[in-house]
Amino acid sequence: MLLWLAELTVASFLLAYGAEHLSKKYGAKFIGRTLLSVATTLPEIAIVIYAAAGGFYGTAIGAGLGSNLLMMTLGLSIMLLIATTRLSKAPLKGVDVATFKLDKIFLLATAVISAALFIDGYNFIDGFIFAAMFAAYLVMALMEMRAEKKGVKKITQDKQVGNHPDHKVVKIEESLPEKGPSKEMIKAVLAFAAGTAGIFLGADPFIRSLEGFSIEVGISIIDLAGIISPIAGEMPEKISMMLLARKGAAGASIAVANVLGSKVLNNTLLLAVAVFGAMYHGGFYTNIEANPILQYQMILVTTVTILALIPMFMKKEIGLKVGMYLAALYIISIFIMFLLPQDLALH
């Protein structure tokens, strides 16, 4: 298990390096929302595909719910602790979340919609709805990135002709930009690809070894799906986020975009994969039933997601105090999870 953990650590380092440099061209938010979110969520996708295709529908849904619970509380808390203290190379007073309006709205909407759709379980219609919501999120993210690039281009043009108030203190590069990709960009792409491949190759054996250990020590399938699996599945995202948080404002921005984007992905693409995996196992009209355990977990995770988003809607910046609040939310949530009914098998 330690060997695969080390492999995932190296892969996550490569992801963080590649994402940071790609963000200089495509924007921190877009990279965090899309490429980094998808890449670091590969282990979770692997868990969901394996569970749903094997008929363990509850395990697939529970793993996704546990992932949202973990990263929206403890994950963000650790990121804030690193970014706002001496653990960072350039400590911040607070992490700017005002620019993530789209992500916050999408996360809130998808959390509520996914919970509402689960009242009568998930079927093929819900699978297509989740896939459509994920596609809509990607389109909106792409549109926002293009709008931001146009805005930056206009400001640059204004500075060049002297129409911008700050034009006197801005040095305009006289040389034309390179037509082809720079060596740094090629290195970033290769690092990102290598990191993604490393996660894809190392996630499954690591998860299997962790699952085997959990079974040996007698951990229930509910705890495995809701707590243990997310810890394994979120390992690349946590490591990448910690590495990015140490790099100052730019890195912290990518980390926030990654967390919010990956949780939107969990509420959309990951659930779609679970439904399609169930359809593959049981047929087109297979229904993932809303048993009491999953209903309790869905209510808990949706409530925690809303509580975690409140400070982000109320404040432009979040800091160490919000981090402590999120850590407390995680501890309380785990305690509540252990109090939930444990007498039904999670299949």
Quote the Cα angle for 236-237-238, to 5°. 95
Kind and range of the H or E element at 24? Answer: helix 2-26
For the chain, how are helix, strand and coil distributed in percent, rounded to 5?
Answer: 80, 0, 20
Q: What is the pTM of this model?
A: 0.74
Nearest to 195 by CA among 232, 240, 233: 240
Chain centroid to Cα 58, Å, comes to 21
340 Ramachandran zone, left/alpha/beta (phi>0; psi -120 to 50): beta
Q: How far is CA 219 from CA 211, 268, 334, 338, 342, in A?
A: 9, 28, 14, 12, 12
Determine phi and psi for 27, rounding to 5 degrees.
Answer: 95, 140
Q: What is the pLDDT of residue 304?
A: 94
Q: Which residue has the tokens 């499954």?
A: 204
Q: Is the dihedral of CA 250, 251, 254, 259 positive or negative?
A: negative
Q: How far is CA 26 from CA 148, 218, 229, 249, 280, in A?
A: 10, 46, 32, 16, 36
Q: What is the pLDDT of residue 34?
A: 67
Secondary structure (H, E, C), 296-338: HHHHHHHHHHHHHHHHHHHCCEECHHHHHHHHHHHHHHHHHHH
Q: What is the pLDDT along the chain (347 residues), one digit of tens a residue?
A: 567 657 666 776 676 667 666 666 666 566 666 666 666 666 677 777 777 877 778 777 887 888 888 888 988 898 899 988 888 888 888 888 888 888 899 999 999 999 999 998 999 999 999 999 999 988 887 887 777 667 655 555 555 555 555 554 444 333 334 455 677 778 878 887 887 777 667 766 765 665 666 566 555 555 555 566 666 566 666 777 777 788 777 778 777 877 888 888 889 999 999 999 889 888 898 888 887 878 888 999 999 999 999 999 998 899 889 999 999 999 998 888 777 655 444 34
First to last CA, the chain: 26
Angle between helices 271-282 and 124-161 (to 10 degrees): 150
Do 52 and 212 contact (CB within 8 A), yes or no? no
